[in-house]
Structure 1
Amino acid sequence: MRNETDGQGARSAPGHGAPVPAASRWVRSGRGSWIPGLALALLIAGAATAVGERIPVLGGPVTAVLLGVLVASVRRPAPRLTPGLRLAGKPVLQAGVALLGAQLSLSQVLHVGGSSLPVMTGSLAACLVAARVLGRRLGVGGDLRTLIGAGTGICGASAIAAVTPVIGAASAQVAYAISTIFLFNIAAVVVFPVVGHLLGMDPHAFGLFAGTAVNDMSSVVAVTTGYGPAAVDDAVVVKLTRTLMIIPLCLGLALLAGRRARSGASARVRPTRLVPWFLVAFLLAAAANSTGLVPAAAHPGLKELSVFLITVALSAVGLSTDLPALRRTGPRPLLLGACLWATVSSSSLALQYVLGGGLS
């Protein structure tokens, strides 16, 4: 049984199963031992960012996972790279997610319109329920169906990045989930405009539809461009507001994980350990931005830094992916992703129709 921290926050010596702060683990892993792995992740992230700039629909984070998996398939990373890859895959990832908050304003929730929040929350609830029910029926593991559900229902790679350290998902699961979400983002770019025109949706309704049912920001813009600036503006605001849904989802998953930990161990788990630090930082950054403490001129730079940190982390995820495990996973998670994509899309349209949101 793992030793837990006592009431005074003391720690047992490493090697006895006691939790050790992340920063201490990286320091104790050996002088400079994290540099080679982190340098490789940075190199791949740089290449992925360049590709993402040339192909916006693909994006840097998705490219990073694909390049990382490709490199790992050619030559498995040496053990000396492991400390750096772990550093990139967790603390760097968490920092990137925390910085997402600086791009958000809590007041944006009030600006998306009276019908937007019911559509967003309703489609998210439908997605999460479907992920649980259909995922079990399809035999998809709990962590993988959680990742696919979060990515489909909230905001793609960013949501998957936020959920990963909370549930401790494996690299192969993360890579599979991100690849699945990307596939249906591409499908949305082709299918959604056709659906919008067939249904006679006005720009506001189509913007709400795209903002709730497309996961990646670049794909949201690509889907709505043909509908004009009004559709693009509405979709971007809805998409940003959806990002706030990361907060209750991660809190719920952390509480669930804590309850399972308590049921499996006699030691008491402190409540403060159930709230991920990066989620607190996310909220503080969003609050600072809402009160004007984050200058508007800093928003583009913070956005680029956040995306790059997530890209570095996903490079490490790709490099660390267990390819045989990925092959053993089979097509069922992909089928789950298709079902969840259809669930979110149809529930968004249905809720708009019920609420009278611009559907003819």
Structure 2
Amino acid sequence: MKTNSISKPYFIRINTTLQQVIFVLLLFLCLFPVISPPIALLLGLVVGNLSGHPFLHLNHKATNILLQVSVVGLGFGMNVHSAVSAGKEGFLFTIGSIIATITLGSLLGKWFKVQKKTSHLISCGTAICGGSAIAAIAPVIKSNEKETSVALGVIFILNSIALFVFPIIGHWLQLSQTDFGMWCAIAIHDTSSVVGAASKYGTEALQVATTVKLARALWIVPVALITAVVFKNKTGKVKIPYFIGLFILAMICNTYFSPVAIATPYLVSIAKIGLTVTLFLIGAGLNSSVLKSVGLLPLLQGVLLWISIAVGTLVAIMSFS
């Protein structure tokens, strides 16, 4: 009888049934508070590279839906007035950092001779909101699967590092909750890692980071429209992040409707579990084949761009706080 073994180059080769059992058990473990977002990401990375992700074909869709639902759930734990205050404070940082990041990314891409579309996707992913920005910009510039995959690979690798590194640096520099939340929102690519890092730092940091990051995500639309002009594409469709509207509605409900406020602790707890599961799935999707497909030059572009925006933003925040 033929054994259904895993043909991909994972470190441990096991039959499909055992692979699925291990994966589901670890996924179930992420439903409990003992597993923090960074640990969930690490578990995903370990299982994804040791035994593999048995449901990889569903991963992108699952993480996308889970992340959006979780972010909306977090909105039920936030106050409109505090969110507006945080959004106003981060507005100038957002505009300046987006322009600087895309400009510097373009220069680095030319310097390293990275393919133009890949370079632009990496720049937009770093400037706005990681994978969501890449997913929105890719059809506008008509990038092929490899160009999009390389850009996503770069962003996801750096996201994973940021989730662990940023809280350590924040505590080392003794950043306030507000300053750390602002830094996370601007300098970490993907919303999942922004929320994960900020939640580990504190409640106020989480509120600031989530609000500023989602306000930043709205810049996908103007950046995509400008991109369409630059790449001379009149037919490219822009994916608008509609779930941000639901996030705002959740905040309004929590602020002005007391019956909703009673359920807030439960909704926020469920949302945080959803975020933890999302990070586990993202980690599980980063197997060795994804890492190898990225290539050295696009990774160098992404790393230098990310370090530049992270350091520049941190200096600006500490100077003006």
Give the 3 Å change call, closer, same or farther, for CA 160–315 of structure 1 in structure 2. farther
- Tell me the CA shift for residue 55 of structure 1: 7.2
- Tell me the CA shift for residue 345 of structure 1: 0.8
Task: Work out whether 1:111 is the aligned partner of 2:82.
Answer: yes
> Is this contact kept in 2: 1:44–1:64, CA < 8 A?
no
> Is this contact kept in 2: 1:42–1:312, CA < 8 A?
no
Task: Work out whether 1:179 is the aligned partner of 2:157.
Answer: yes
Cα deviations by residue, 1:154-190 (Å, 9 ceiling, x for unpaired): xxxxx32432422347333223223224434544434
Task: Work out whether 1:102 is the aligned partner of 2:73.
Answer: yes
Match of residue 291 from structure 1: 253
- Tell me the CA shift for residue 304 of structure 1: 1.5
- Tell me the CA shift for residue 59 of structure 1: 4.1
- Tell me the CA shift for residue 127 of structure 1: 2.3
- Tell me the CA shift for residue 144 of structure 1: 1.1
The alignment covers a number of residue pairs equal to 273
- Tell me the CA shift for residue 64 of structure 1: 3.1
1 CA distance for matches of 2:24 and 2:287?
10
Cα deviations by residue, 1:253-305 (Å, 9 ceiling, x for unpaired): 454566679x546xx67xxx6344xx324423541453255832232113312
2 CA distance for matches of 1:107 and 1:275?
26
The alignment partner of 1:291 has SS state of helix
2 CA distance for matches of 1:42 and 1:167?
36
1 CA distance for matches of 2:172 and 2:310?
16
> Is this contact kept in 1: 2:183–2:314, CA < 8 A?
yes
- Tell me the CA shift for residue 211 of structure 1: 0.9
From 33, 55, 62, give the equivalent of 1:92.
Answer: 62
RMSD over aligned Cα, in angstroms? 4.1
Give the 3 Å change call, closer, same or farther, for CA 50–301 of structure 1 in structure 2. closer
Match of residue 250 from structure 1: 220
- Spell out the pairing of 1:134-145 with structure 2 (5 A cutoff): 134-139=104-109, 141-145=119-123
- Tell me the CA shift for residue 125 of structure 1: 2.4
User: Gaps (5+ residues) in structure 1?
Assistant: 1-35, 151-158, 224-231, 353-360
1 CA distance for matches of 2:24 and 2:149?
16
From 298, 311, 314, give the equivalent of 1:345.
Answer: 314
Task: Work out whether 1:64 is the aligned partner of 2:44.
Answer: yes
Match of residue 191 from structure 1: 169
Match of residue 334 from structure 1: 303
1 CA distance for matches of 2:136 and 2:215?
15
The alignment partner of 2:100 has SS state of helix
Give the 3 Å change call, closer, same or farther, for CA 343–138 of structure 1 in structure 2. same
Query: What is the TM-score when the length of structure 2 is the normalising length?
Result: 0.66
- Tell me the CA shift for residue 241 of structure 1: 1.5
User: Gaps (5+ residues) in structure 2?
Assistant: 1-15, 139-146, 189-193, 255-259
- Tell me the CA shift for residue 86 of structure 1: 4.0
Match of residue 100 from structure 2: 130
Give the 3 Å change call, closer, same or farther, for CA 98–219 of structure 1 in structure 2. closer
Match of residue 177 from structure 2: 207
2 CA distance for matches of 1:48 and 1:252?
40
- Tell me the CA shift for residue 320 of structure 1: 6.4
Query: What is the TM-score when the length of structure 1 is the normalising length?
Result: 0.60
Larger Rg: 1
> Matched residues, percent identical?
10
Cα deviations by residue, 1:310-355 (Å, 9 ceiling, x for unpaired): 5435533547626143345342321111101012212222332xxx
1 CA distance for matches of 2:215 and 2:45?
24
Give the 3 Å change call, closer, same or farther, for CA 167–298 of structure 1 in structure 2. same
2 CA distance for matches of 1:105 and 1:54?
23
The alignment partner of 2:305 has SS state of helix
Cα deviations by residue, 1:70-123 (Å, 9 ceiling, x for unpaired): 35xx98x9xxx8xx634321x323312321122115973521585x43442222
Q: Give the counterpart letter for 1:287 in structure 2.
A: L
> Is this contact kept in 2: 1:104–1:286, CA < 8 A?
yes
Match of residue 24 from structure 1: none
